[in-house]
Amino acid sequence: MAVKDTIVARLAEWGLVLNKNEIEQLVPAYENLLRWQSVLESMMQSKKLVEGMTAPGSEPILIHAIERKGGAR
Amino acid sequence: MNASAQKLAFASISTVAESVRRKELSPVELVRASLDRIEAFDLKLNSFYTLFRDDVLAAARDAEAEIARGHYRGPLHGIPIGIKDIYECGPTTCGSKSLKDYVAAEDCMAVHKLKQAGALIVGKNATYEFAYGFPTTKSYFKPARNPWNLAYDAGGSSSGSGSSVSAGLVYASMGSCTGGSIRWPAQCCGIVGLKATYGRVSRAGVYPLAWSLDHTGPLARTVKDAALMLQGCAGYDPADPASANVPVPDFTARLGQPIKAMRIGLMRSVYEDNCDPKILGPFNVALGEFEKLGARIVDVPSITLTQMQAIEWPALFAETAAIHIDNVRHHGADYNPHAKLFVAYGLLISGACYLMAQRARAQVRDQLLEALARDVDVLILPTVGFPVSPVLDDSPGLSIVAEDFSVYTAIFNFTGFPAIQVPCGFDPDGLPVGLQIAGRPFDEATICQVAHAYEQATPWHDKHPSL
């Protein structure tokens, strides 16, 4: 499926219809998003379990859980 | 505008407050002077959407009477300030045609606290639409202009806050910050912007942009003024789920203390291969100034700009879309064109991508916390990597997610660390350049100490635009 079609289909799931010009503008931004996804994947810390299998080495940040680790001076 | 009026307009809060405390200067005089300057200059600047002319004069008279009776509340008592128009306080448009007629039923907690501290709310400052949609000359709400050059943008999203404080219309203004919206306009306008630790200042009643990244905080002309403003609005608020129930220290306590032997962590990997030389030049000179003050510049391993963007933007836009989708369905035509596009973009981000961003965010935060616990006292970066932009006539589309949109501020939004921007010079076009200092969570006093030491050793805080 072409990128444009993917975008249109995904937005339709949310009931959002954009015009052709708006969709055109989303295409390079969507391609950037795909690049960022691969950047994020490469950043993930993981523990190797057996060949080809890992477990996550970190958890998602919790929205309301900032820590005082490091402490105030 | 005569010289004494000019001097009063650009005086610091601490200077003016002392005169108010001694009853040598009346809050009524201060408010009248502020309203006069707004009348004289704001048609050019467009930094205010709403003025509370009658209400603020009445409040000033009350303050004057209260102080005359010997009831002085502290350094914000009788000081005219502005409030970004996404804080609930009277008419609250969020810079959007869709809310042009909305009037808040009550003040949000941050405004309530500032009023309790005696601050006088002059009006509501211009903002990017819902704190993210760049206004253009074709927008319903026009862009706030940069006092250093009216053809240029004031930065955003706390654009009117930056513009009005820089121009001496008010002494400070409250902004909000999800990816850099306090520090970026502060940089563009040559002033101080202080984003406190996530949870330090209540966001209840402030229109959200992205819950896990939203912060509030002041813009002011000096570090001490920013610290005094933070003092006036910080504190636990059960109405904000992110509010931290921690003690509020004296944020000015360390101002004036030397920074000799302090270790300042330089995060080169974020900016060194992408920062515009117009920014890099003044920033490198500033690093030398810190060394002259006795601090040590220490390299700190960090992430790249691309990694920063890969964490910030998916997290921000997914949350933004979750907030705005229903409004866009009903009022999409009233949104600035690209503000609507941003919401659409957020809908394209998968749940897995969002969670990966949150995982990477936790990793980066933990690495930097380790560095702050072990190797350095504070962190330093340029505020953004590109010069101030001209006011836009047309929608910038989704340029914010382009590779060269180098806002280095975002890393301290997704880590939640406190960060302060101070001016560090001017680019060859005469527009301000700034740097940011970040520190340990809930240790705003130390970043203020370091920023203040630099500020006092350099001339930038004494430079003001001529209008």
Predicted confidence (pLDDT) per residue in B45-91, tens digit: 999 999 999 999 999 999 999 999 999 999 999 999 999 999 999 99
Query: In this structure, what is the dihedral angle of CA atoms B156, B162, B167, B171, given to the nearest 10 degrees?
Result: 160
Confidence (pLDDT) at B89:
98
Note the pLDDT of residue B379: 98
- Rounded to a whole number of angstroms, the distance from the CA of B282 to the nearest CA of chain A is 29
Mention every residue, 6+ apart, whose C-beta is less than 8 A from residue B377. A73, B262, B263, B264, B265, B439, B446, B450
Cα–Cα distance measured from residue B261 to residue B277, given in angstroms and rounded to the nearest whole number: 29
Confidence at residue A58, expressed as pLDDT on a 0 to 100 scale: 86
- Degrees, nearest 5: CA angle B451-B455-B459: 160
- Alpha-carbon span B147 to B189, nearest angstrom: 7
How, if at all, do strands B432-438 and B378-382 pair?
A: antiparallel
Give residue B357's pLDDT: 96
CA distance A2 to chain B (A): 14
Of B343, B390, B327, the C-alpha closest to B152 is: B390
Which residues in B106-124 are b (16+ Cβ under 10 Å) and which e?
ebbbbbbbbbebbbbbbbb
Predicted ipTM?
A: 0.90
Q: Residue B11: name the closest of B172, B125, B123 by CA.
A: B172
Residues 6+ away with beta carbon under 8 Å from B299: B265, B266, B268
Asked whether the predicted pLDDT for residue A67 surpasses 60, the reply is no
What are the structure tokens assigned to B302, written together? 């960090």
Q: Which residues, listed in sequence order, are joined to residue B282 by a DSSP beta bridge? A: none
Tokens in use for B89? 């306080």
CB B123 within 8 A of CB B82: yes
DSSP string covering A14-49: TT----HHHHHHHHHHHHHHHHHHHHHHHH--EEEE
Report the distance separating Cα B241 and Cα B253, nearest Å.
28
Q: Is B202 a residue of the active site? A: no
Q: Residues of B with CB below 8 A from A55's CB?
A: none
Q: What is the pLDDT of residue B438?
A: 98
Cross-chain Cβ contact A66/B198 below 8 Å: yes
Best of B303, B348, B367, B444 to mutate (most A CBs within 10 Å, chain A): B348
Of A7, A54, A57, give the one whose Cα is nearest residue A33.
Answer: A7
Residue B12 catalytic? Answer: no
Calpha distance B195→B218 (Å, rounded)? 7
User: DSSP state, B464?
Assistant: -
Are the beta carbons of B310 and A60 separated by less than 8 Å?
no
Smallest Cβ distance to B347: which of A14, A36, A70?
A14
What is the residue-level pLDDT of chain B in tens, covering all 467 positions? 688 999 999 999 999 999 999 999 999 999 999 999 999 999 999 999 999 999 999 999 999 999 999 999 999 999 999 999 999 999 999 999 999 999 999 999 999 999 999 999 999 999 999 999 889 999 999 999 999 999 999 999 999 999 999 999 999 999 999 999 999 999 999 999 999 999 999 999 999 999 999 999 999 999 999 999 999 999 999 999 999 999 999 999 999 999 999 999 999 999 999 999 999 999 999 999 999 999 999 999 999 999 999 999 999 999 999 999 999 999 999 998 888 999 999 999 999 999 999 999 999 999 999 999 999 999 999 999 999 999 999 888 887 788 889 999 999 999 999 999 999 999 999 999 999 999 999 999 999 999 999 999 999 999 999 99
Task: Specify the 3-state DSSP secondary structure of B215.
Answer: strand
| Residues present in chain A in total | 73
- Reading the block at residue B209, the tokens are 């942009």
CA gap B124, B277 in Å, rounded: 36
Shortest alpha-carbon distance between residue A51 and chain B (Å): 22
Which residue among B314, B340, B365 sits closest to A33, beta carbon to beta carbon?
Answer: B314
- Position A66 scores a pLDDT of 54
Check whether A72 has a pLDDT greater than 90.
no
> How far, in Å, are A64, B17, B199, B313 from residue B416 at the CA level?
10, 31, 8, 15
Q: What are phi and psi of A72, to 5 degrees?
A: -80, 150
Minimal Cα–Cα distance from A17 to chain B, Å?
9
Helix (H) or strand (E) holding B173: strand B172-177
pLDDT in tens, B186-244: 999 999 999 999 999 999 999 999 999 999 999 999 999 999 999 999 999 999 999 99
For residue B140, count other CB atoms closer than 10 A to its CB.
Answer: 15
The per-residue pLDDT for A62 is 65
Residue B93 and residue B141 in contact, taking contact as beta carbons nearer than 8 Å = yes
Q: What is the CA radius of gyration of chain B?
A: 20
DSSP state of B389: P
Contacts for B18 with CB less than 8 Å, ≥ 6 apart: none
Interface list for B 165-204 with A (CB within 8 A): 197-199
Spatial separation of the C-alpha atoms in residues B172 and B165, rounded to whole Å? 6
* Percent helix, strand and coil across chain B, each to the nearest 5: 45, 15, 40
Catalytic residue at B84? yes
Name the catalytic one among B12, B158, B173, B181. Answer: B181
Q: Which residues of B40-70 are buried (b: 16+ CB within 10 A; e: fewer)?
A: ebbeebbbbbbbbeeebbebbeebbebbeee
Q: Look at B218 and A56; give whichever has higher pLDDT.
A: B218
Q: What gap in Å lies between CA B125 and CA B122, rounded to an integer?
A: 9
pLDDT at A65: 53
3-class state of residue B434 by DSSP: strand
